[in-house]
Structure 1
Amino acid sequence: MVFIFGINFNEASLVKRSLESFYGIGPKVSQRIMARFHIHPWAKVGTLKNTTVMDLTAELSNMKIENDLRREVQDNIRRLRDMGSYRGRRHAMGLPVRGQRTRTQITTARRLNKIERGGTGRIQM
């Protein structure tokens, strides 16, 4: 088992997939991090040297990921609600925010607005 940024990873898992498991790191960012530390795209976590693991952990600690990023997203949505903007009202009602169709396909947006982004489903003014 290898610890990266305080999380235990199996030695047989890919470095790219392990990095993408963090909230806020996608394919492009993980590819950029791996290129910075000269890690092969198909490298396994178990093959990394200790210094490389420490450098990865230091790099991740400098980035805004996981709880910090979640808090920032929730603060941005709360700010939109407090201003009373159109997007804030849509978030508060649990409706699609970016102009999607609401006549038939609304269930996904309702689910995302309530769970992931911390919506309450009510208008707060």
Structure 2
Amino acid sequence: MVFILGTNFNEARLVRKTLQSFYGVGPQVCARLLARLYIHPTARLGSLNSQTVLDITSILSEMKIENDLRRELRENISRLKSMGTYRGKRHAMGLPVRGQNTRNQTNSAKKLNRVERIG
């Protein structure tokens, strides 16, 4: 087992998939991180030495990921709501925010904005 940022991962897992499991680390950020540390995209966690794992952990700890990023997103949406902007009102009603069609296809927006209707 490899321990990265408070989470245990199996050694047979791909490094790329492991990094992308963190909220805020997508394919592009992951590719840049792997290139920066000279890690092959198909490398497994078990093949990394302990220093490389420590380097990955230190770089991830400097980035804004997981709860910090979620908190910032929540604060931005609540700021829009408190200002009374159009986007804030749409978030509050659970409707599409970025100009999508509302006549037929609002189900996904209602699902995604459901959490934000609390505030």
Displacement of 1:59 after TM fit?
Answer: 0.3
Q: Deviations over 1:61-85 (max 9, x none)?
A: 0000000000000000000000000
Aligned residues: 119
Q: Which runs of 5+ in 2 are unaligned?
A: none
List gaps (5 residues or longer) in structure 1.
none
Aligned to 2:106: 106
How far does residue 24 in structure 1 lie from its aligned partner after superposition? 0.3
Displacement of 1:119 after TM fit? Answer: 2.6
Q: Corresponding residue for 1:66?
A: 66
AA aligned opposite 1:99: G
Q: Which residue of 1 aligns with 2:23?
A: 23
- Residue 33 of structure 1 aligns to a residue in which SS? helix
TM-fit CA distance, 1:46: 0.8
Distance 1:35 1:79 in 2: 36
Are residue 119 (structure 1) and residue 117 (structure 2) matched? yes
Quote how far apart the aligned CAs of 1:113 are: 0.5
In structure 2, the partner of 1:53 is: 53
* TM-score, scaled relative to structure 2: 0.97
User: Structure 1: which amino acid aligns with 2:70?
Assistant: R
Identity %: 60
User: What's the counterpart of residue 7 of structure 2?
Assistant: 7
Q: TM-score, normalised by structure 1?
A: 0.93
Counterpart CA distance in 1 for 2:6 and 2:79 is 31
Q: Which stretches of structure 1, 4 residues or longer, exceed 6 Å deviation after superposition? A: none
RMSD: 0.9
Q: How many angstroms apart in 2 are the aligned matches of 1:4 and 1:90?
A: 38
